[in-house]
């Protein structure tokens, strides 16, 4: 059984139809569910933003 903190929360969101359709096609191409495609893209965006905030060495 998963720990309580590992259970995904449900967050219904409204998307413009055109964006939802595009994401759905991207999910199919990437062999993901629509939800997994959205999570993947959000995590990718977060990683890019965090990397951009890191000071240069």
Structural domain of residue 33, as residue ranges?
Answer: 17-53
Backbone angles phi, psi at 27, to 5 degrees: -60, -45
Other C-beta atoms closer than 10 Å to the C-beta of 50 total: 9
Residue 4 banded pLDDT, cuts 50, 70, 90:
low
* Residue 4 covered by a domain: no
* Residue 24 covered by a domain: yes
| Per-residue pLDDT tens digits for 7-21 | 788 899 999 999 999
- Which residues are CB-contacts of 31 (< 8 A; sequence separation ≥ 6)? none
* Residue 5 covered by a domain: no
- Which residues are CB-contacts of 23 (< 8 A; sequence separation ≥ 6)? 15, 34, 37, 38, 41
User: Are the beta carbons of 41 and 33 closer than 8 angstroms?
Assistant: no
* Residue 21 covered by a domain: yes
How many distinct structural domains can be found in the chain?
A: 1
* Residue 27 covered by a domain: yes
* Residue 40 covered by a domain: yes
* Residue 8 covered by a domain: no
Stated pTM of the model: 0.78
């Amino acid at each position: 059984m998963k720990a309580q903190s590992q259970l995904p929360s449900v967050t219904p969101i409204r998307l413009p139809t055109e964006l939802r359709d595009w994401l759905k096609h991207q999910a199919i191409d990437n062999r993901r569910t629509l939800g997994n495609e959205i999570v993947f893209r959000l995590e990718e965006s977060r990683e890019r933003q965090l990397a951009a905030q890191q000071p240069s060495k």
